[in-house]
Amino acid sequence: MEYISTRGNVEAKGFIDTVLMGLADDGGLMVPFQIPVIFPEKLAEWRSLSFQELFLEIFSYYTNDEIPYEDLKEMVYTSYGNFRAPEVTPLHQVNDSLYVLELFHGPTFAFKDVALQFMGELYSYISRKRGEVIHILGATSGDTGAAAIQGVRGKEGIKICILHPHGKVSKVQELQMTTVDDSNVLNLSVEGNFDDCQKVIKELFADLDFKGKYHLRAINSINFVRILAQTVYYFYVYLQIEGSDKKKINISVPSGNFGNIFSGYLAKKMGLPIHKLIIATNENNILERFVNTGEYKPGSFTSTYSPSMDIQVASNFERYLYYLVGENAEKLSAHMSKLQTEGKITIAGEALQQVQADFAALGVKNQQCLDTIGKYNKEYDYLLDPHTACGIAAYEKFNGTGETAITFATAHPAKFDEAIALVDIKQEFPEQIAALFSLPQHQKVVKHDKDVIVRELQAFYE
């Protein structure tokens, strides 16, 4: 399979070149030239597979045999060998209509581990095979940074720099990043919000001279491999529910940067019969407004109890828009130009009807988020992190009679004790998280200034 840019100005690439490219040289995002279709008979065959076996099956449609099967298998089993649950992503039934897929059993207790443990192994493999140094550069609203650092720390041939918004991630998220004292890791705490960090990252990847000189590689979900790895657990959870082929299965997904929900959209285009894809977000509700009105317009930034979704500019929205306009790169480029010049994109008519057929969406208010945490702790003795609580609130709004819903638990509640404490719940931290509070931190606070950040990167990479 070949990969192309959403903007249409980049020659078709293979799987490994797409991994290394991340953001395309024309500023677009890489997508498959053609999405493979998985037929119902194949889904039936996959029901008995483990997570790792299913991962290998799905990736076999995308890797073009560029990676020998045994090499890929070793990477996959190494990646998930340190997860605390043998299923990797275990399924918890809450009530007759609701299941929670726990995606937080990796080393940093967040769903980002599922993709980034594999990406760390993949980058290390490519570095060894090609004999080149890889410099990973990413921005995080909290979980991506910790998971990315954990995936590559100490690996020869790789350096990683992560930007996070100063004071706008949870304390545990901050500690998971900044207590790492490996020479190949640099944490920059940027005075601004996540969108400010993400903007700098995109500008640096768009600077082809800088990108080429320092061999920059992406770890954010602008990298298609992140999307593809997350697609695996959509298939996995669907196949874990008995009789799912005869049920209406809805999946409610906490989403800020549109990467996790786009993985579900990709799974659906591959043939996974999801009934409703539900976007759960918070008061930074640009995605809810888009689904309901057709207007994609970044608004004012709001700090919430679910900080990983405190995002106004969703990177992966461009990938969805590409498919919405019929894979027409010219139309897509026109929309993205309007976003730059007019500050918004407007979809109407049949296109808006398609959006509303593809997704439902809810922006959950802060108090509703806390109320949901309290309700499920009291009624089901099940503690939700604030992002998962947003997903549950969206399930409650959109799940119909006779339908079955799966909500993704994107993080362990211990990562967001600030919110849990507001509901008067005292939780016991896992040993790995409790130990972080006694460790020294290693980070540099910098201004939201591209030139300042570039100087830090040059000193680190050289």
Catalytic annotation, residues: 112
**Residue 36 · residue 269 · CB < 8 Å:** no
The tally of CA atoms less than 13 A away on the side-chain side of residue 402 is 3
The tally of CA atoms less than 13 A away on the side-chain side of residue 241 is 27
**Residue 359 · residue 291 · CB < 8 Å:** yes
User: Which token pair is 383?
Assistant: 């503690």
> Rounded distance, CA 337 to CA 340, Å?
5
Neighbours of 56 (CB within 10 A): 19
Radius of gyration of the chain (CA): 21
User: Which token pair is 139?
Assistant: 């921005």
> Rounded distance, CA 99 to CA 102, Å?
9
Label the pairing between strands 216-218 and 359-363: unpaired
> Rounded distance, CA 339 to CA 82, Å?
42
**Residue 241 · residue 298 · CB < 8 Å:** no
Which amino acid is it at 162? I
Q: Is 75 left (phi over 0), alpha (psi -120 to 50) or beta?
A: alpha
CA torsion, points 11, 12, 15, 21, in degrees to nearest 10? 20
> Rounded distance, CA 190 to CA 193, Å?
8
> Rounded distance, CA 117 to CA 110, Å?
11
Q: Give the Cα-Cα-Cα angle 421, 424, 430 (nearest 5 degrees).
A: 50
**Residue 446 · residue 453 · CB < 8 Å:** yes
**Coil/strand/helix, residue 412:** coil
Q: Which of 269, 196, 260 is nearest to 230 (CA)?
A: 260
Q: Which DSSP symbol is given to 283?
A: S
